[in-house]
């Protein structure tokens, strides 16, 4: 028996040694010969590589790299600049636009990229109402009179033209999928026209892209881009610190503040692209009426005066955001009006109380809560908190406190986003805080608050966007005007008028413009571009110009293609040996008693 | 074991499975809401596009119609399509089952082997330093929440020391073949596997210890010693096999949780298995994916419980006689 035990121990030790040597050797081989790689960490998955289906920000970033668009957007201010099209001209009525493609355009598989591909994409997207295309191509018909010319005809006055920022797809790949099949296609194809094209997708883990040698601006200097998905934001930041990744998107605020203090080889930035959060009050035009006091604009204005946006930004967001004025309808802040001091509803509890007193909302029974004019129903409002937003409950704590100070009570109830969408659609609410992220063109955001978007269908209450349930005929008429105004300056003036009017209604109290928290290593690559200039993010921006512009800093090494643990082979070997030793000790302890017994 | 006993157990399991299938459907619909509106908020969809998506998601009929459709689909082993990826749920689950089986399977094996060994040593050398050390260690790991233990290991070995990758299953630069790939995956597997092994080891060790202590009081062990048998033979042939009975049952039942047991650990280490898929699906909410995952998890528990019942009956004739 003793002999058998010794043999077992020897076998375990030998096995551990063999594995240890193999592991060390194999991991040593891994360290050499890696291409120049940019590794970007994020917490979101690529839901689909198919631009007719996917919706996540991660997917848009991928498409920005894989597929070029007819017109590109300037990094500075989103102005239309040449993309696949080198130039364009308009007909006198500006309904027909003729684009001239660059010469010798090619797909990454070497096939020529022609006007046929452009016309195919635009026409098919319009006919089949592709999800991410329809708002751009809904009224546009494309023709391809010759391989380098695309003619777009719009059936309406479309102020968005000449911008045509939809991803042009290779006809020779996508025409294999009919209307039914295209929605089920995962979009995993290596054929693209952008700076990088897909190499590999490992769902839930990473997706890698290789530099496209056929890219019209020339092959990018970084050979490879890797997107790594993390579920744990702190682990993601740790990977950045250790140099396993080069940049991170959506940094948790606590980690961001720590990184900000450290400086050194990591640069942090708060990228703003127009995202905002608002405190919404039910304007009463929907399927159900809110508390009657909210139908009185004076009450809404008093409530707006009772909200201290600076405190919310500083205490809830830890300073990572900017107090808001009007809603932001575009990623480009140039669309927003400047409010005059007498138009603003700044934080002032005394003014709020005074407005309510003058309007006749007084606390007649001395319980601290005001009643409707002439007594009767107290001002007790329903406040919906979003369970899926970590900021929702703390924001509610502040706001309900201020409302209490001015004599308005609240009853809080927590909802999932899916539930709250339904509740809002039915008009069955008084107050909530939620947010929006606008497109570059202001039209979609402006459309959400028209009368047409107020839910009037009890069977499908969620088919509408107007979550303020606010209907203003002047605003809605202005919306139609801006929708066909082709003079950019005049259109801007209309949009600003609409935004001011919406602000003055006090149905929406914009709280803050939110920031996309990003960080990147500044010791490896240079050439990061913010979009828009100075305030925007460097990655996950509207057209993602950074990637093709990055170049390595001399003598810096790449992240190692996605973050392995340096020298961990030896450690694993030690781990395996430790397991073997532990097992051996346990066996020895078991045998020791029997040995004593035998002696 | 009689055929009647086995048939009864199998039929009982099938009935439970059917109940779970029905329950799953309603469980995720208790909370009202419109997944289309929630998932596509701010996307500026037309009413026609919304209606198309509602139809595509199978949410266009009444709840009764949706339920019947769901039963028909499930009977054909069709679990629907994921809302977020638009791919078949069955395929998504099959793709993610491998990493979970590897992670939880290996850690269950390790925790079982080491847990039983520690339990045997602690019981056989009771009230010695070895026993106190083993019991303290196993109590500590048993009572430690796995997500917390995972965070500790992650921050120590991956962040501070940098010995292991901070997450994922493989390095993006891995070529996907050969020894290098296996080693790469082993590096990624190490920390989540260690976390789960430590988290479950304590339970096996404590149950084994207590079971063996009970067995050690039995008369037949006194008799075995009286017959002159060596202590190791008494332990290995008479004590341990009898004491293993509750541990075997525990292992069989725990195997049912192999597929679902690592939601927290998979999330912390970004391990792309079924646990992480559950976490992601809950965030959606991706109803077809949740239904599919819960069905698979429940079926695994039911099958393993059935296995435990039959195994227990096979090992202990008193059970099937009862």
> A306 to chain B, minimum CA–CA distance in Å?
28
Instruction: Pick the range with the lowest mean pLDDT from A165-174, B72-81, B98-107.
Output: B72-81
Contacts of A458 in chain B (CB under 8 A): none
Q: Would the pLDDT of A372 be above 90?
A: yes
Q: Tell me if chain A has a CB within 8 Å of the CB of B128.
A: no
Q: Tell me if chain A has a CB within 8 Å of the CB of B91.
A: no
| Cα B284 versus chain centre, distance | 23
Q: Tell me if chain A has a CB within 8 Å of the CB of B221.
A: no
- In chain B, the residue whose alpha carbon lies closest to the alpha carbon of A570 is B163
| 8 A C-beta contact, residue A277 and residue A514 | yes
Contacts of B269 in chain A (CB under 8 A): 232, 235
User: With an 8 Å Cβ cutoff, are A26 and B170 in contact?
Assistant: no
Q: Would the pLDDT of A19 be above 80?
A: no
Q: Tell me if chain A has a CB within 8 Å of the CB of B230.
A: yes
User: With an 8 Å Cβ cutoff, are B171 and A238 in contact?
Assistant: no
pLDDT in tens, A240-261: 988 889 999 999 888 999 998 8
Which chain A residues in 32-91 lie under 8 Å from chain B, judged by CB atoms?
A: 34, 37, 39, 45, 47-48, 50, 53, 55
Report the distance separating Cα A189 and Cα A182, nearest Å: 13
Q: Would the pLDDT of A12 be above 60?
A: no
**A101 membership: H or E segment, kind and range:** strand A96-101
> B5 to chain A, minimum CA–CA distance in Å?
39
**Which ipTM value was assigned to this complex?**
0.71
Name the residue facing A29 among B173, B176, B180 (closest C-beta): B180
Report the distance separating Cα B102 and Cα A435, nearest Å: 41
Provide the token pair at A459: 């069977």
How many residues belong to chain A?
599
Name the residue facing A232 among B172, B267, B272 (closest C-beta): B267
Contacts of B224 in chain A (CB under 8 A): none
What value does the mean pLDDT of chain A take? 87
Task: Respond yes or no on whether the N-terminal peptide bond of residue A457 is cis (omega within 30° of 0).
Answer: no
Q: Would the pLDDT of A586 be above 80?
A: no
pLDDT in tens, A42-52: 988 888 899 98
Q: Would the pLDDT of A88 be above 50?
A: yes
Chain A interface test: which of B116, B168, B208, B278 (most A C-beta within 10 Å):
B168
> A562 to chain B, minimum CA–CA distance in Å?
5
Q: Tell me if chain A has a CB within 8 Å of the CB of B136.
A: no
**Residue A17: band (very low, low, confident or very high) from pLDDT cuts 50, 70, 90:** very low
- In chain B, the residue whose alpha carbon lies closest to the alpha carbon of A45 is B280
Instruction: Pick the range with the lowest mean pLDDT from A298-312, A579-593, B95-109, B255-269.
Output: A579-593
Mean pLDDT value of segment B168-184:
78
Mean pLDDT value of segment A317-326:
94
Contacts of A563 in chain B (CB under 8 A): 165-166, 168, 171-172
- CA quadruple B218, B224, B228, B233: dihedral positive or negative? negative
Mean pLDDT value of segment A162-166:
93
Place of tokens 């659609």: A425
User: With an 8 Å Cβ cutoff, are B183 and A597 in contact?
Assistant: no
Residue of B86 and A559 predicted with greater confidence: B86
Name the residue facing B270 among A135, A231, A419 (closest C-beta): A231
Mean pLDDT value of segment B86-108:
88
**Residue B1: band (very low, low, confident or very high) from pLDDT cuts 50, 70, 90:** low
In this prediction, residue A493 carries a pLDDT of: 96
Of A3, A52, A448, A586, the closest CA to residue B117 belongs to A586
Chain A interface test: which of B60, B111, B172, B186 (most A C-beta within 10 Å):
B172
Task: Respond yes or no on whether the N-terminal peptide bond of residue A440 is cis (omega within 30° of 0).
Answer: no
Share of chain A above pLDDT 90, in %: 68
Report the distance separating Cα A363 and Cα A369, nearest Å: 6
Number of A/B CB contacts below 8 angstroms equals 248
Mean pLDDT value of segment A261-290:
92
- In chain A, the residue whose alpha carbon lies closest to the alpha carbon of B186 is A572
| 8 A C-beta contact, residue B23 and residue B70 | no
Q: Tell me if chain B has a CB within 8 Å of the CB of A433.
A: no
**Residue A580: band (very low, low, confident or very high) from pLDDT cuts 50, 70, 90:** low
> A444 to chain B, minimum CA–CA distance in Å?
6
| 8 A C-beta contact, residue A313 and residue A323 | yes
Which chain A residues in 96-155 lie under 8 Å from chain B, judged by CB atoms?
A: 129, 131, 134-135
Place of tokens 């045509």: A164
Residue of B204 and B319 predicted with greater confidence: B204
Share of chain A above pLDDT 70, in %: 87
In this prediction, residue A25 carries a pLDDT of: 37
Q: Tell me if chain A has a CB within 8 Å of the CB of B63.
A: no
Report the distance separating Cα A458 and Cα A426, nearest Å: 7
Q: Would the pLDDT of B148 be above 70?
A: yes
Name the residue facing B154 among A134, A206, A235 (closest C-beta): A235
| 8 A C-beta contact, residue B264 and residue B278 | no
CA distances from A440 to A64, A135, A273, A546, B243 (A): 15, 12, 9, 18, 70
In this prediction, residue A82 carries a pLDDT of: 96
- In chain A, the residue whose alpha carbon lies closest to the alpha carbon of B61 is A459
Instruction: Pick the range with the lowest mean pLDDT from A88-92, A264-268, A372-376, B285-289.
Output: B285-289
> B249 to chain A, minimum CA–CA distance in Å?
23
Write down the pTM of the prediction: 0.79
Q: Mutual orientation of helices A473-484 and A488-505 as an angle, nearest 10°?
A: 160
Mean pLDDT value of segment B293-320:
81
Report the distance separating Cα A400 and Cα A398, nearest Å: 6
């Amino acid at each position: 028996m003793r002999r058998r035990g010794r043999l077992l121990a020897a076998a375990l030790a030998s096995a551990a040694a063999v594995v240890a040597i193999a592991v060390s050797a194999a991991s040593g081989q891994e360290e050499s010969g890696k291409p120049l790689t940019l590794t970007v960490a994020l917490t979101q998955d690529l839901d689909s590589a198919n631009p007719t289906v996917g919706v996540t920000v991660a997917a848009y970033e991928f498409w920005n790299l894989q597929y070029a668009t007819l017109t590109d957007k300037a990094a500075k201010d989103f102005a239309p600049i040449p993309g696949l099209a080198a130039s364009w001209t308009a007909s006198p009525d500006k309904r027909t636009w003729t684009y001239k493609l660059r010469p010798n355009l090619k797909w990454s598989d070497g096939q020529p990229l022609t006007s046929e591909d452009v016309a195919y994409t635009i026409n098919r997207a319009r006919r089949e109402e592709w999800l991410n295309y329809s708002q751009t191509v809904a009224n546009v018909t494309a023709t391809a009179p010759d391989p380098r010319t695309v003619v777009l005809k719009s059936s309406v006055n479309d102020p968005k033209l000449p911008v045509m920022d939809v991803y042009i797809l290779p006809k020779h790949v996508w025409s294999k999928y009919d209307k039914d099949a295209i929605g089920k296609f995962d979009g995993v194809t290596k054929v693209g026209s952008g700076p990088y094209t897909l190499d590999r997708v490992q769902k839930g883990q990473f997706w890698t892209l290789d530099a496209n040698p056929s890219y019209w601006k020339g092959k990018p200097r970084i050979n490879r881009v890797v997107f790594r998905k993390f579920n744990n934001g702190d682990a993601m930041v740790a990977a950045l610190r250790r140099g396993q990744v080069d940049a991170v998107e959506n940094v948790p605020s606590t980690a961001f503040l720590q990184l900000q203090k450290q400086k050194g080889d990591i640069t942090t930035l708060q990228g703003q692209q127009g995202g905002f959060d608002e405190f919404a009050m039910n304007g009463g035009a929907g399927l159900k009426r809110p508390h009657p006091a909210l139908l009185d604009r004076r009450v809404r204005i008093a409530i707006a005066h009772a909200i201290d946006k600076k405190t919310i930004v500083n205490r809830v967001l830890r300073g990572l955001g900017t107090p808001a004025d009007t809603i932001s309808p575009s990623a480009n802040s140039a669309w927003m009006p400047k409010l005059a001091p007498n138009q603003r509803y700044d934080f002032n509890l005394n003014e709020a109380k005074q407005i309510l007193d003058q309007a006749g909302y007084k606390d007649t029974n001395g319980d601290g809560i005001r009643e409707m004019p002439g007594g009767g129903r107290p001002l007790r409002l329903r406040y919906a908190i979003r369970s899926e937003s970590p900021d929702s409950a703390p924001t509610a704590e502040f706001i309900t406190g201020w409302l209490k100070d001015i004599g308005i009570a609240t009853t809080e109830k927590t909802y999932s986003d899916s539930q709250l969408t339904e509740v809002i659609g039915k008009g069955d609410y008084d107050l909530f805080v939620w947010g929006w992220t606008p497109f570059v063109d202001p039209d979609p955001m402006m459309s959400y608050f028209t009368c047409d978007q107020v839910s009037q269908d009890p069977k499908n209450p969620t088919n509408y966007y107007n979550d303020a349930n606010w209907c203003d005929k002047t605003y809605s008429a202005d919306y139609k005007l801006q929708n066909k105004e082709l003079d950019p300056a005049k259109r801007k003036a209309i949009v600003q008028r609409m935004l001011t009017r919406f602000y003055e209604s006090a149905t929406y109290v914009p709280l803050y413009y939110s920031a996309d928290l990003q960080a990147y290593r500044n010791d490896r690559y240079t050439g990061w571009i913010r979009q828009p200039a100075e305030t925007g993010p460097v990655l996950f921006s509207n057209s993602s110009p950074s990637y093709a512009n990055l170049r390595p800093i001399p003598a810096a090494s790449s992240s190692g293609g996605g973050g392995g643990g340096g020298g961990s082979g030896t450690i694993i070997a030690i781990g395996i040996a430790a397991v073997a030793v532990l097992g051996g000790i346990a066996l020895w302890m078991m045998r020791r008693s029997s040995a004593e017994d035998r002696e | 074991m009689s055929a009647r006993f086995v048939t009864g157990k199998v039929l009982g399991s099938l009935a439970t499975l059917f109940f779970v299938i029905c329950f799953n459907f309603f469980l995720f619909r208790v909370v009202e809401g419109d997944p289309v509106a929630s998932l596509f908020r701010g996307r500026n969809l037309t009413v026609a596009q919304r209606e198309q998506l509602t139809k595509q998601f199978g949410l266009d009929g009444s709840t009764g119609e949706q339920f019947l459709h769901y039963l028909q689909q499930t009977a054909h082993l069709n679990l629907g399509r994921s809302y977020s990826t638009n791919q078949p749920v069955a395929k998504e689950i099959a793709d993610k089952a491998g990493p979970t089986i590897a992670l939880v399977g290996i850690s269950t094996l390790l925790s079982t082997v080491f847990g039983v060994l520690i339990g045997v040593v602690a019981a056989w050398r009771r009230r010695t330093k070895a026993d106190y050390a083993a019991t303290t260690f196993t109590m500590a790991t048993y009572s430690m929440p796995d997500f917390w233990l995972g965070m500790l290991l992650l921050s120590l070995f991956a962040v501070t020391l940098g010995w292991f990758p901070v997450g994922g299953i493989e390095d993006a630069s891995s070529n996907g073949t050969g020894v290098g790939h296996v080693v790469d995956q082993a590096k990624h597997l190490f920390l989540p596997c260690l976390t789960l092994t430590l988290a479950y080891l304590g339970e096996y060790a404590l149950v084994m210890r207590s079971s063996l202590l009970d067995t050690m009081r039995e008369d037949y062990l006194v008799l075995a010693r009286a017959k002159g048998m060596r202590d190791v033979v008494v332990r290995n042939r008479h004590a341990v096999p009898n004491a293993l009975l509750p541990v075997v049952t525990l292992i069989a039942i725990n195997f049912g949780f192999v597929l679902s047991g690592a939601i927290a650990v998979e999330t912390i280490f970004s391990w792309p298995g079924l646990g992480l898929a559950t976490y992601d699906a809950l965030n959606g909410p991706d109803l077809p994916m949740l239904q599919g995952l819960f069905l698979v998890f429940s079926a695994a528990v039911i099958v393993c419980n059935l296995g435990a019942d039959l195994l227990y009956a096979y090992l202990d004739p008193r059970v099937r006689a009862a």
